[in-house]
Each structure stands twice: as structure tokens, then as C-alpha cells.
Amino acid sequence: MSIPWGVGTIIYKRALNTPNKTALIFDDKAVTYKELNLGVNRCAYMLQKKGLKKGDRICVVLLNCVEFLEMYFAAAKLGLIFVPLNWRLVGPELQYQLNDCEARLVLFHNSFLGAIDLIRNHIKVEEDKFIFLKSDSSDTSVCPSWADDYTMVTEKMSSDEPELVNPVVMDDPLAIVYTSGVTGDPKGAVLSHEQTFFKNFQVGFYTGAVEGDVLIAQMPLFHSGGLFIIATPSIMGGIVMIMRSWFDPDQFAEDIERYKGTVVFALTTMWKMILDSGKLDKVDISSVKTVVGGGERTPPSLFDELAKRGLYMQQGFGQTENSAMMVLPKEDIHRKMGSIGKPGFFTDIWIQDTSGKRLPPGEVGEIVAQGPTVMSKYWNLPEQTKETLVDGVLFTGDLGYIDEEGYFYIVDRAKDMYRSGGENVYPAEIEKILLGHKKISMVSIIGVVDDKWGETGMAFIVPFKGQEITLKEIKEFLSNKVAKYKHPAHVKIMTELPLTATMKVKKAELKEKYGRVFEFDEKDKKK
């Protein structure tokens, strides 16, 4: 839509209508909407003084912090395209994304000074557009000579609303968020102001959160979940957001009690860490009314453990290309265990086969979606955009089915499926069952080359601390639960699995290392 409006108006309107209300509490320091908006405006004037114009890309390599949101909303007000980068990336990975989006400015925390210094002569960012930020006041790091200090360059700027030469309109690009790069080079999903507003509305319907609610969620803001499912809807809704630099399970549990959290969001791996810490049983969590989570394969035992403590987790489904697509209603958590729910109010989703035919309940096909929350395109990738977005329909790459009541279930990623003896095998089906084993903490299965069957399964298993498990035990556990051709033929015991920033297993890394020439425990060779 060409309506002159944008995401930058969110913080402006909040500061206008509820100036003294707390917007967020960062590391126990409260920031009001007025204070946040003043910081946003100073940042906007700094960006204008640097010569940045509508459509320019600005990147941040930051831990969660107030300045992250200042830069985000400043970009939104000016019509710049905000590009949050994963701070876990190493130099060459950052270099690729900075060059891919043709970044004109980069703001980075002192923690990542070495990585930026290593690549700064290999990216097209101009000399006066490297901005340095200390992670906290006690840090002794010094701003390098080739960068400007964020605090120093913004504190002198005007805090008035910025004057615009080219007004922002709703279909302008707001952000480029790179996919995690689980397979191949990361792709930059272009998200518009319009799509972001509709996501805000959709998330609001999911959580039922209102002014006065307190949100506890420590997702990294560089991720679409952290920025577009948590931070932006929270600020638009007048919800108090509790924010930390990074996730700590003990601190997370303590924050629920300290701030009387009413809405709590954490991924499955995060919940496992919170439960393992034991801290959840030592704090008062009676204030919690809504729990949202998932983001990966979630064993039934986790739902049960949370339910014992009065926490009923709603699982959802989304992608960088279309986050917050659906969520399971609270009342259906146990009745529809394993379901990812029903489509959100602003998303239409169905299952179809390779010919484009919509499939009836019970039949497995690709999950496809359309609606105002879907991304605009992939940045500078017209061919990949055409493959993923067809006439406005997003092909998710996920295989699933619906039941007779219209609830959706994920079977697996299309690319993760392998064929053994001519039969389709969906690793996620087996992974879900194995997560029910009392000895198994984490599991990931890939297809590996097999002379007899073409492909067979290889399971990578992280046992619980102090536990040991063998291939024989695994096969016995799967016996009578799934067909034999679905049983993994090989197992490798791991101390940890390679994870993305959002705690998803990097299957591409496992496939690259073990897909053709693999190794497994000597003890399991003998079983």
C-alpha cells in the first residue's frame, strides 16, 4: 500500500500518548516511551548527518540493548532498510551479508570489534560509517580510530522528530532479515512496514496481551522472532518488555518472579535449560497467564513438565519469510498434542501436492501460505524469489498435513526427507519418538548413502548427563513404534549438536560431514 505511514510511527505515537509509561526494562533499568523515542530521534539525526537516504541499508551487530531498538525505529522513521546481523557469525560470514545487502553503515558492540576490524577493508562501508558501542559502562574498551563512538555522536543531536524529504509509505521495505543459512548461503528476506503491522496484529490475537502485561522473553533481537514477534508487538501494544543482553536460564526464571511476568516466550531448547537449572521450582511463577514456545521439535515430556508447574505452552509455526504464521490455542495444548495450531487471522495456509492440488485431511504435502504477513522477496535473488513466492503464495519447504478439524502438523522439511529402499522417510517423525526416551536429551537424524538401500538413517544423539545409549537400545525402543525401514542404521553419540542462533540443528553441517563418508562409535559397530 502507498499509504504514508510506517513502523516508525509506533514509537512516536507511544511517546505521544503514554510518555511516562515503561516501555522496557533493560538489565533492570527502566526506559519510558518518551525516553526511548528521544533516543530514536537523536539516532535518526545522526544517520541523516551521515548522509544516509531512504532505501539505504544500515546494519547492526549488537547484543540485545536499547540502542538496537533506537537504530531500528530510527531507520523505520527515515525509510532506511534495517539489517540486523547474527552476532554469532564469524568474519567471512559477516562480510558476505554486509556485501550482499550493500550496507552503507554498520553499528557494532565492542565484543565484535575484532571481527569487524578483520573485514572492514573488504566491505563497501565508507570510513565515516563504522559506529562503535560499548556493551556496558564498566567496559574498558576504547573506540578505534577508524570508527565513531555511538554515545558521543548521538548525544549532541536534536531529539525533535526528524524532518523527512521522502516520506515512508506502507509498502516500503523496513528490514532485510537473513535466513539462518542452514543450507547454502543465507538469503535476505525483505520485510515491509505493511507486513510488520499485520504481524503485530496477529501476535496480539495469539497472546491476548494488553497494556499492563509484562513480557519475559530473551530471544536475540537480530532474529525475526525477537524483533517481529516480541519487541515490535510489545512496544506497539504498550506491554512492558523485560530485556537482557543475552539468555541465562537462572536469570530468566528469576525475572518471572521479580517482574511478575504475565506473558512468557522461550524456545524449546531454552525451556529445557530453564527446567534443568532447577530455578523454576524456587521462584513464584503464579503471575504467568500465557506461555508461547516451540521453534523446534518439542517432546511431549516438555509440555508435561511445564504443565506440572502451571505453565501451558502454546506451540507455533513461522519462518523468517513469514513469522508467526500460526499458533496452537491454549485450550487445545493436550487435546491436539504435536499440532502447530491453526492459521493466524491474517494468514491463509493449506497443504498441496507437487502439482498444486490442495490435499484433504491426513495427506502429506507442502505447507503453503499467503496473506499480508508474507515477505516481499529475497534481496537481490529474483530466481530464488520466483521459486519461493509464486503468485503471492509462499512455498515454505515444510511438509505437513491437517486433521479433520483443520489443525496443522509438521512432518518434516522437504529437503530433510530421504528415500530408503524406495520409501520416503521423514527424520522428524523418528526424532519426535526418540525424544521420548528417558536417556535422550537431543537428537537429529539425516539420510546417509547406503549401498543396499540407496539411503539409510544416521542418528546423532546427545544423551542426558551421565547416561549412555547404544544403537541396539535405540532399535529396541523404536520396535513396534515405526516400520523397520525407518530405523536409523547408524548412531553417533555427541556431547552437543551444531545449532543455529535460534537453537535449530544445523543439519546441513551434519550432512556435509557425514552424508557420504561417515563415522560412528566403534561399540555400535559391534551391536
Q: Hey, where are the domains in the chain?
A: 32-192, 417-525
The reported pLDDT for the residue numbered 180 is: 60
CB 157 within 8 A of CB 45: yes
Radius of gyration from C-alpha coordinates of the chain: 24
The predicted model scores a pTM of: 0.84
Determine the angle formed by the axes of helices 471-478 and 427-434, rounding to 10 degrees: 100
3-state helix/strand/coil string of 289-331: CEEEEECCCCCHHHHHHHHHCCCCEEEEEEECCEEEEEECCHH
The reported pLDDT for the residue numbered 516 is: 62
- Going residue by residue through the chain, which has 527 residues, state the pLDDT in tens, using 9 for 90 and above: 589 999 999 999 999 999 999 999 999 999 999 999 999 999 999 999 999 999 999 999 999 999 999 999 999 999 999 999 988 887 888 999 999 999 999 999 999 999 999 999 999 999 899 999 998 766 778 999 999 999 999 999 999 999 998 999 999 999 999 986 444 578 999 999 999 999 999 999 998 898 989 999 988 999 898 999 999 999 999 999 999 998 999 999 999 999 999 999 998 878 888 998 999 999 999 999 999 987 666 778 888 899 999 999 998 888 889 988 999 998 898 899 889 999 999 999 999 998 999 999 999 999 999 999 999 999 999 999 999 999 999 999 888 999 999 999 988 776 787 878 667 787 888 888 899 899 999 999 998 887 777 788 999 999 998 999 988 898 899 887 877 888 999 999 999 998 876 677 888 888 888 876 444 443 444 44
What would the DSSP string read from start to end of 82-133? EEE--TT--HHHHHHHHHHTT-SEEEEEGGGHHHHHHHGGGS---GGGEEEE
Task: Work out the burial of residue 164: count CB atoms within 10 Å of its CB; fewer than 13 is exposed, 13-18 middle, 19 or more buried.
Answer: middle
Q: Element (H or E) spanning 29, and its range? A: strand 29-32
Q: Tell me, which fold does domain 417-525 have in CATH?
A: GMP Synthetase; Chain A, domain 3 (3.30.300)
Say if strands 290-294 and 313-319 run parallel, antiparallel, or are unpaired. parallel
The reported pLDDT for the residue numbered 294 is: 73
The reported pLDDT for the residue numbered 507 is: 85
Cα(337)–Cα(303) distance, integer angstroms:
9
The reported pLDDT for the residue numbered 527 is: 43
- Dihedral of CA atoms 168, 8, 44, 51 in degrees, nearest 10, equals -20
- Dihedral of CA atoms 296, 298, 303, 309 in degrees, nearest 10, equals -60
Is 32-192 CATH 3.40.50.12780? yes
Mapped onto helix, strand or coil, the DSSP state of residue 20 is coil
The reported pLDDT for the residue numbered 135 is: 86
